Structure 1
């Protein structure tokens, strides 16, 4: 019995690297596709995640699917319900409005502290992301644009060097990620948002503290207004 166990372990050691690589790649594919389907509205807010169908689609067992769901839950896109599976997270327009009212002063603070503490490397990295984001906008790749957009906002928060601020920003952002994407489904707001980011990048490179603070605050305020209008159009009166 012991020899069998040792043999199995040795065999596992030989196969683990390639298996791990395939597992990580598949995990990323599952997370990316599910995130895309949620953000694009293929999986509707409040709807139950069809675990059996998704397992069949990706040819995986429940365990890797649930690992993917945990990632999406940490991003605020999915809610895990004990003994009931998972559902796409749903917020009323009032919930979203309340959350977005908190964001302008936080974004403004991020702007001020980022100017004070960002290194040249931080700014260079953000500029790289900025160029990628604008490229995705030109190519109408909405979900890719949004993904990089979120990376930019998080990079700005991290550039402040304030751990407590980053954690609070992360917590609030996870609750409005789907709503933020919804704002970009309106083409005019998407174009306006991309233009606002050009001015944000200019202020960051110029290290203009007041300008960056103001631009970030206005940017998230406009996004919030656009989202609330979109949600009110979608939701029945009693859910508002």
Structure 2
């Protein structure tokens, strides 16, 4: 068996450089994604590359790589010779996307109740209590981060690869809207109560109940978003 030769100083430097570029790319993607989700970059906003490079203290290469990732996720639109803008969705698209997501989440909950492990349930419960703490502090970004992890862990516990892939693709496009759905205090309070009911159903392994809670939870988020954005002339199609 041939021995493993230690890297030369030059090889080590190149390797570290690649790791640094990869990490920079991930950091830029996360920063821009969170800015879109939290509304700092509003739907339809034009993304000025020079300003973003100055703000993030990066060159245009990692920025453009990050924009390609966000375009693939459906969060921005990249048009040749016109640059990037934050993606917008019509009322009809919002209606249909949340309708689809409600079904995906409901199916995730049903499967998770039959397949979740004790350690996964414990992790979800810990995230739930952390989310409640964020709510008590009126920390909406912190709340949403924990909220998103809870829904993601339920989907993971379903252990269905095609469902997982579809869920991730659709959820990326809805993250900013899901965040905004809690801007109204009464909607936020109701979401908290529904999350407590989700935990109870998951603990009881009651798939039918959790499925229905998740379906209604997502449809209410849809209605909250449309209530904020929709005018009578741009109403969603009938249910």
TM-score, normalised via structure 2 length: 0.84
- Equivalent residues of 2:91, 2:234 under 8 A apart: no
Uncovered stretches (5+) of structure 1, i.e. residues with no partner: 1-8
Alignment match, 2:179: 181
User: For residues 46 and 132 of structure 1, do their structure 2 counterparts lie closer, same or farther at Cα, with a shift above 3 Å needed?
Assistant: same
Match of 1:87, SS state, is strand
Offset at 1:11? 3.2
Offset at 1:215? 1.0
Picking from 150, 155, 159, the partner of 1:152 is 150
Match of 1:184, SS state, is coil
1:1-240 to 2 correspondences below 5 Å? 10-11=9-10, 13-14=12-13, 16-17=15-16, 19=17, 23=21, 26-232=24-230, 237=233
User: For residues 167 and 36 of structure 1, do their structure 2 counterparts lie closer, same or farther at Cα, with a shift above 3 Å needed?
Assistant: closer
Equivalent-residue separation in structure 1 for 2:125 and 2:194 (angstroms): 14
Offset at 1:46? 1.3
- Equivalent residues of 1:36, 1:143 under 8 A apart: no
User: For residues 156 and 89 of structure 1, do their structure 2 counterparts lie closer, same or farther at Cα, with a shift above 3 Å needed?
Assistant: same
| Structure 1 vs Structure 2 CA RMSD | 2.5
Uncovered stretches (5+) of structure 2, i.e. residues with no partner: 1-7
Alignment match, 2:3: none
Equivalent-residue separation in structure 2 for 1:174 and 1:152 (angstroms): 15
- Equivalent residues of 1:77, 1:177 under 8 A apart: no
User: For residues 208 and 238 of structure 1, do their structure 2 counterparts lie closer, same or farther at Cα, with a shift above 3 Å needed?
Assistant: closer
Match of 1:79, SS state, is strand
